[in-house]
Amino acid sequence: MKKKYFVSCIHGYFYNLRYLSPEENYHLHALMVAKEMGYVPVAIVKGGEKDMRTDPNYDPDIRIIPYTNIFYFLYQVIAYTLRGSIFYVNSYEWQSFVVPFISRHAIFMAHTQPKRKSKIKQIIHDFVYHFFWRIRLNNETEKEFLIGQGIAVKKMFIVPLVVAENYFYKTNTSERRDVVYFGNVTAKKNLPTILRAIDIVRNTKPDIRLHVVGKIADAAFQKTIDELRLQNYIVIHGFTSLEKLADTLNQYMIYVNASFDEGQCVAVYDSALCGCALCLPNIMSFVGVFKDKALFHDVMDHAQLAKNILAYLDNPAKIQKDNSACIEMIRKEYTKEIIEQKMKKLFTSDK
């Protein structure tokens, strides 16, 4: 019987992926679903081969092919194309954009929204999208945007990431307090806007604190705290293990996010499952999904974010109403079983 290959092109496998639940690890999950479908799973990896092999959730049936130069990468892509493979690429790297010009069966999944920051990047992005066999999207808003950019509807599949209900769940219904940001702190996450909002909130709610759960990797974060003299209003928890996250998130009332762009941002969904109301930026990753189940602000509008935080703090009933609606939606649309059914349809070849 002729072997079928599913080849994932990974531009950097990061050590911290091991701390995700198995189904939220977007690299390994795609490969394991492909294996269940009868494909031989292959990963062409630039950077992080050791981290991938030592990940507790790594399956040794996944063939890892490390590469350090473009010529070896192209050789492997051509070799597996000649074997009739399906390719899966999920990063905005130029190596990813080469694949659809070699293979007629290349799937693309972005981890940020498809609206690019400059006109020239948007032109390049849309041009390459025309050559991909299929495109995996997170939500209907992304699909509508790409339709407006002239991308064929038949290419697009809305298949979001799994949200792990077995690790994230609501246990606390009465003793909640404060505001939380959950996720790594990077420049793209725009924590200074959140800090400026907290600076406003403390004027009327001096007992409120912002809890930051995640690794700090942005110098502007501490600089802004010092500038606003917020040292007594910020609680930094740092990295928190997966097993402890649900207990941690269940302590808080509101989750805040101010990212410049996102893909799905599973941390938002995890926080909602743990009972937090959501204050989110007005970007396509969130607006079309959470709609009337969250409060929104423009990315840099710290004043509106502050108003939204205060609106929730002053209305516990709205927190309960919106959070219940979020949990119902996530359980209905983002379970492992539902997403894997959609992934299998996405990965099924019509050759």
Residue 215: which region, alpha, beta or left (left: phi > 0; alpha: psi -120 to 50)?
beta
Give dist(CA 34, CA 36) in Å, integer.
5
User: Residue 60: how many CB atoms within 10 A of its CB?
Assistant: 7
CATH annotation of 4-162+335-347:
3.40.50.2000
pLDDT at 350: 67
- Quote the distance between the C-alpha of residue 156 and its chain's center: 18
All structural domains of the chain with their residue ranges: 4-162+335-347, 177-333
Give dist(CA 253, CA 333) in Å, integer.
24
| Residue whose C-alpha is closest to residue 51's, from 79, 89, 14, 6 | 14
pLDDT at 94: 82
Q: Indicate if 177-333 has the same CATH topology as 4-162+335-347.
A: yes
Q: What would the two tokens of residue 78 be? A: 């051509």
- Going from the C-alpha of 330 to that of each of 206, 255, 269, 342, the distances in angstroms are 33, 16, 7, 15
Q: In terms of CATH architecture, what is 177-333?
A: 3-Layer(aba) Sandwich (3.40)
Going residue by residue through the chain, which has 351 residues, state the pLDDT in tens, using 9 for 90 and above: 689 999 999 999 999 899 988 899 999 999 999 999 999 999 999 999 999 999 999 999 999 999 999 999 999 999 999 999 999 998 878 888 999 999 999 999 988 888 888 899 899 989 999 999 999 999 999 999 999 999 999 999 999 999 999 999 999 888 899 999 999 999 999 999 999 999 999 999 999 999 999 999 999 999 999 999 999 999 999 999 999 999 999 999 999 999 998 889 999 999 999 999 999 999 999 998 999 999 999 999 999 999 999 999 999 999 999 999 999 999 999 999 999 999 999 999 765
Using DSSP bridges, classify how beta strands 134-137 and 106-109 pair: parallel, antiparallel or unpaired: parallel
Positive/negative CA dihedral, 321, 270, 23, 90: positive
Binning the chain into helix, strand and coil, the percentages to the nearest 5 are 45, 20, 35
